Every structure is written in structure tokens, then in C-alpha cells.
Structure 1
Amino acid sequence: MDNNYTYNKDDYEDLSLRDAQMLMADILKDVHELCEKHGIKYFLDAGTLIGAVRHKGFIPWDDDVDIGMIREEYNKFLKIAKKELPKHLFLQTFETDEYYNVYPTPCKVRYNNTLFLEDGTEENHKMHNGIFIDVFPYDSLPKHNFTYKIQRTLSYNILKSFKRLRDMPEHLSFKNKITFSFYKLVVKMFPNKRRLRFFNYLVKWNDSKSKYMGYGVDTYWSEYVYKKSDYFDLTKLEFEGEYFYAPKNYDAILTRLYGDYMTMPKQEDRVWHAKEMKKLKGL
């Protein structure tokens, strides 16, 4: 299924969670090889990092892969991946896919001729919906905490406006009509290209010499701040029979994110995002 194409469901077959995981692992391998070729530093992130530490592979019920890169490496990756990703993969950003609307995640690498629809999210068949891995930028922090708060308040409210309009309910109360009028104004002020330029401007507020970093200004998560020394120099961890880069002090990072991450959650909390996973027959 190529980008922006509708598809005939009769041509596709359902994937098990494990089959989908293996396709995600293949994407990760290809991204790893591209990064190795060009000296781009990346690291396993979030649930994927837990999976590597606790299971040496996927958390059994997990249905995505997350990696991170500091902003300089991320920008380099975007430039190179546009030209050098294998033909069966698609680099999805707000520049490469005009219909892309997963606003808190600025970059995905998708597997062509596959389908992944998320539960609880309005379907958008115009954008590329292939099985994917997420690529998150990380930014150094500004010199002053006050500057950081302003920076993240601006970026968060812009992203929130786009997401809320995407998921806007059909019937609004009077109060919500006022709120959504504000969202519409923000979205009108910041179409894709202008929004990306504004985020690039906010990135310039950062201090590259800071000892701390967090998720990029083009994501939601301002509450997670880490010591750079906990990440670099990177180590390697096993994940599905291969070795990938991971933060040096992954225990400190995962504890910051999840607390006691080595204890398995209760059965009822073991959920995944997908409501539909398919691939082209014969792929």
C-alpha cells in the first residue's frame, strides 16, 4: 500500500501481534544499518528499552518500537533517510506526507504494503498507515527553567490544538465551542510549514552545552528531563536476537519513566494500541 492510496481489503490478510512485531524488528534493523553507515547515534527508548532489558525483545503485548536521537542526529537522519531508506520503507514526517496527523510524533518509519490502525483514534486513510517504528527527537534544555516553561507551553498548546481538532466530537457544549474556536485559530495560524519553522525557532532557545535533555519541542512530553551523562556513551542491548544501541545508564532512565519497571504489570494493564494489523497477501 503506497502512501496516500486507498486499498482493497480483499488483497490484505490479518497479521498476528507476533508477526507485526517481527516486521517492526525488520524496520529497526534497517534503520540501525543506515545509522551505522552514517555514524548517526540513536538509542532504544520507552517500552522498547524495557523490552530489551526485561525480555531481550518485545514486551509480549507491545505493538510499537520507539527510538530516540538528539536533535543534531535526528536532523541528519531525516536528511539521509529520505534518500537511502530501503524501497520497502517510507519516512513519514509532516513534510513527506501531507496527510500525516499524528501530531505528538514528528517521525515514523513505515513498512509499505502493510496496515496498522490504532484503537481509539479516528481513521485517516489518506496518510500512510503502515506498520511503523517511532523516531523521537531529544533536545538540550535552555539555560533557564523559566525559558523552558515558556518554550514548552507554546509548543504543547500548538500540538494540543491540532490533536483536539482531529478528535473533535460531533456535538459540543457552548463552553467547548469556545474552546474549539481557540483551537481552530491556532491551527489556522500554524499550518504544517509554519508550525515546523516555529518549532525550529524554539529549538534555538536551547543550550547545546546543557547537561540535561528531554523529548523535543515537537513532542508532548516536557516532564521528562534526563542527564545526558546517563545516555552517553551508548551501550548495546539484545533485542530479538540482534544488538541495538541503548542509553548507558538505562536503569536510571527507566526508573525515572516507569518506577519499578522490572515488575510485570497486572494482566488487565497489558494492553496494546492496534485494532487492525494487516499486510498485502504474498508480502
Structure 2
Amino acid sequence: MSEVINIDRETLRKLQLKELESLVYFDNFCKEHDLTYFLLGGCVIGAVRHNGFIPWDDDIDVMMPRRDYERMLKLWKQEESNERFLMLKTDGEVFTGNCFATLIDTSATMVKENQKNIDVPHGIVTDVFPLDGCPDGRLQRYMQYYHAMMYSLYISEVVPSKHGGLIKIVSSILLKLVPSRERRTKIWKKHEKKMTRYAFNTHKKCTELCAGPGYMRNEYPQIAFKEIVYHEFEGLQMPIPKGYDAYLKMAFGDYMQLPPEDQRVPHHDLVALDLEKPCNQPSP
């Protein structure tokens, strides 16, 4: 069994700079096709607090309004031919173990513990999340959350392990009841359609339906994401939500306060990392 590896500060910094190359490539693609996106989560905190990566952060996350997200996936599939950068999302042909899209830099090798047995290119990953509108009514919102949970379960095929025993037990039972991936695909597509029926730009609030059970409960003011502003990130000007303060406070609390030292560590469990070896290169 592969063991989780520890990354020293020098290697982590090299990883960050490698990830930055993916961000620049994605940024250029979005500009070329007039697509809206912005840095997400820890990258926004990094931009406003450190003018770059949080020193111990090990990944880049971006977010797009749902309409831009779907357009991006379609355009990338139709037009993008660069063999180094791949955009993957689980569909009838590919299974990634994620419920969102991932940009893969195949010029290096990085294997996450939870994906080590999945047949995908294990390169440097940039996660791309959609941003969806929230319905105004409470019942409709509860149903959206339900559909998002079912979508996440059946598309990722992962039982949540950090959100309570009941959720874990129910999720395990639901997956066992539907062992066929073909049938699971039909189920998640049905729930995806229902959870995304509320357009981002026509509702007062928005949410992260593909970011896990905790974050999908958050209801951010839509106005916080309606415009982008550019902020320094590793010497570059990158887009962040104009209302980043309201967003970050709701998602992370006092985001300008540094966490305790024992929490200043990378948060992804890696079992392999080689920044010089392309992930599609066979082992000698």
C-alpha cells in the first residue's frame, strides 16, 4: 500500500510555481474565449493576505459561474489541442472520482491518495468549480441541497467520511444499491439537472454545489461575485470576486488571522510527486 509522503518547503514552493503555469494557461484560455472565472478559497486568501500562495498551500482552485463553466468545458473539448494541459470531468467516457472539472498538467506526476487506484493522468491538478444560483424559497433550497448531495455521491462514488456517521451509513447503502456505473451515471445526471436549474445571475444568492457537504450549505450574496477585480498573485494580476470580503468571511471567518502553526501544512495527501517526470511516461 502506498504511503502518504511529506513535502519539504523547497519542494512545495517548486510545486506552487508549477501550478502557477497551469493558472496562466487557464487564464489565457478564458480571456481568449471571454469566459468569467476567479480564484477560489485559499487562493483568494493568499492573494489578499500574501499577494500570492498561502505559504503552506499546495493547490490552486478556481470558480466560474455555471454558464461560463459549461461553456468552458464545451470549448475546451472542441478547440483545445495542447497535449500538456487536459481538462477532465467525469462523463460517460472518463471517471475522475471528482464532482467538478480538473485541469491536469501532464508534464509532471502527482498522485493523490484518494485517486491512486483511478485510471486518469496523475499530473498537477487545478480544480475548477461551478458557481450556482440559490432558489429563494426554503423548500426549494432544501431540495437543491438534496440533489447536490445525491449528485456528489453518485458522480464521485465516494462515501463522505467527515460529515457524521448517519451520512456515511446512508451514502454507503445508496452506493451498494446501485453497483452499476452506467446506472449511477444516469442518476447523477438527473440530479445535476435539477440542482442547476437556478441561474447564477437571476437570484439573490449563490452557492458551491460541487465543493462538498459543508460548503454547499453556504449561501453567498450574489452581488459578491457579480464583478471581478484584479489582485496581485505571485507577481501577476489575477481575478478575484469584487465582494471577496463578504465571501471569505462567510466561508472562512476571520480569514486575515493566521491559523495556529500546527495547521500551517499542505492539506492534500499525496502518495507520489515528481515535478520532472511527465505523468504519462511509463516507469523504467
Task: Tell me which interval the TM-score lies in, with the shorter structure as reference length.
Answer: 0.7 to 0.9
Describe the shift of the 1:185–1:254 C-alpha distance in structure 2 as closer, same or farther (beyond 3 A).
same
The whole-number CA distance in structure 2 between the counterparts of 1:110 and 1:96 is: 19
Q: Verify: 1:184 aligned to 2:176, yes or no.
A: yes
Describe the shift of the 1:91–1:270 C-alpha distance in structure 2 as closer, same or farther (beyond 3 A).
same
Q: Is the 8 A contact 1:162 1:187 kept in 2?
A: no
CA-to-partner distance for each residue in 1:137-178, whole Å, 9 max, x for gaps? Answer: 01111231211111211321442366565789xxxxxxx988
Instruction: Indicate the RMSD between aligned Cα atoms, in angstroms.
Output: 2.8
Describe the shift of the 1:179–1:36 C-alpha distance in structure 2 as closer, same or farther (beyond 3 A).
closer
Q: Is the 8 A contact 2:101 2:128 kept in 1?
A: yes
Q: Map of 1:206-221 to 2, 5 A cutoff?
A: 208-216=201-209, 220=213, 221=215
Give the drift of 1:261.
Answer: 1.0
Give the drift of 1:99.
Answer: 3.1
Letter in 1 for 2:34: G
SS in 2 for 1:204: coil
Runs (4+) of structure 1 exceeding 6 A deviation are 176-179
TM-score normalized by the length of structure 1:
0.81
| Partner of residue 134, structure 1 | 127
Decide which of 266, 277, 281 is 2:273's aligned counterpart: 277
Give the drift of 1:214.
Answer: 0.8
Give the drift of 1:281.
Answer: 4.1
The whole-number CA distance in structure 1 between the counterparts of 2:170 and 2:39 is: 41
The whole-number CA distance in structure 2 between the counterparts of 1:75 and 1:187 is: 28
| Partner of residue 102, structure 1 | 98
Percent identical: 26
| Partner of residue 147, structure 1 | 140
Q: Is the 8 A contact 2:152 2:210 kept in 1?
A: no
Q: Verify: 1:117 aligned to 2:135, yes or no.
A: no
Stretches of structure 1 lacking an aligned partner (at least 5 in a row): 1-14, 169-175
Q: How many residues align?
A: 259
Letter in 2 for 1:231: F
SS in 2 for 1:160: helix
| Partner of residue 260, structure 2 | 266
Q: Map of 1:142-181 to 2, 5 A cutoff?
A: 142-160=135-153, 180-181=172-173
The whole-number CA distance in structure 2 between the counterparts of 1:162 and 1:198 is: 10
Q: Map of 1:217-228 to 2, 5 A cutoff?
A: 220=213, 221-228=215-222
SS in 2 for 1:67: strand
Give the drift of 1:190.
Answer: 4.5
Greater shift after overlay, 18-27 or 270-279? 270-279
Greater shift after overlay, 192-201 or 36-45? 192-201
Q: Is the 8 A contact 2:159 2:171 kept in 1?
A: no
Describe the shift of the 1:282–1:254 C-alpha distance in structure 2 as closer, same or farther (beyond 3 A).
closer
Letter in 1 for 2:246: A
CA-to-partner distance for each residue in 1:216-266, whole Å, 9 max, x for gaps? Answer: 368543221111211222100111111111111211211111111111111
SS in 2 for 1:216: coil
SS in 1 for 2:35: coil
Decide which of 92, 99, 102 is 2:88's aligned counterpart: 92
Q: Is the 8 A contact 1:199 1:218 kept in 2?
A: no
SS in 2 for 1:16: helix
Describe the shift of the 1:178–1:140 C-alpha distance in structure 2 as closer, same or farther (beyond 3 A).
closer
Q: Verify: 1:41 aligned to 2:33, yes or no.
A: no
The whole-number CA distance in structure 2 between the counterparts of 1:178 and 1:256 is: 28
The whole-number CA distance in structure 2 between the counterparts of 1:151 and 1:50 is: 28
The whole-number CA distance in structure 2 between the counterparts of 1:194 and 1:183 is: 11
Q: Verify: 1:250 aligned to 2:244, yes or no.
A: yes
Give the drift of 1:195.
Answer: 1.6
The whole-number CA distance in structure 2 between the counterparts of 1:97 and 1:244 is: 33
TM-score normalized by the length of structure 2:
0.81
Greater shift after overlay, 215-224 or 230-239? 215-224
Q: Is the 8 A contact 1:142 1:207 kept in 2?
A: no
Greater shift after overlay, 109-118 or 200-209? 200-209
